Amino acid sequence: MTDAGRPPCANPACARQVTPRATGRPGRYCSASCRQAAYRDRGRQAERAARDAQRLADARADMPRLWPQLETASLETAETAAAVLSCAAAGDEADLEWKLRELRAHAGRLERLALACRRAADTAAELDGAG
C-alpha cells in the first residue's frame, strides 16, 4: 500500500496508484491500457523465454555434432601440412602448389568449425547463466 492507502498498479512499468472501486473485487491496474500493456509485456517475456530455450537446445545439440568434425578437420590439416613440408623438402614445385591450396582449404574448414564450436559453447554458457 502507498501512503494514501491505495495499492500501486500491478504493471511493473507503471508508478500510478489504483483507484479503489465502490463495490466488487479491488482492481489491480490503474487503467485498461495499463492492463493491456502488462498483458503484452508478459507475452513478450514468454516469447523471449521460448526463443532462449530453443537457442540453448540448439547450442547443446551443435557441440556434440561439431566436435567429431573438428577433430577430423584437425587431423586432415596436420596431414596436409606434413605433405607440404615433404613437397618443399623434395623441391617438387607443382605438388607443393597443389598441397598449399589444399592446406588453405583445410585450415579454412578447421577455422569455421572451431568458431562454430566456440559460438555454441558461448551461447550455452550465456543461456545457462541466464536461466
Give the start-to-end residue ranges of the domains of the chain: 56-130
Q: Has residue 130 got a pLDDT over 70?
A: no
Give pLDDT, residue 2: 45
Task: Identify which of 102, 76, 72 has the alpha carbon closest to the alpha carbon of residue 87.
Answer: 102
Q: For residue range 5-62, list pLDDT tens digits in order.
A: 789 999 999 999 999 888 999 899 999 999 999 999 999 999 999 999 999 999 999 9
Cβ(87)–Cβ(36) under 8 Å? no
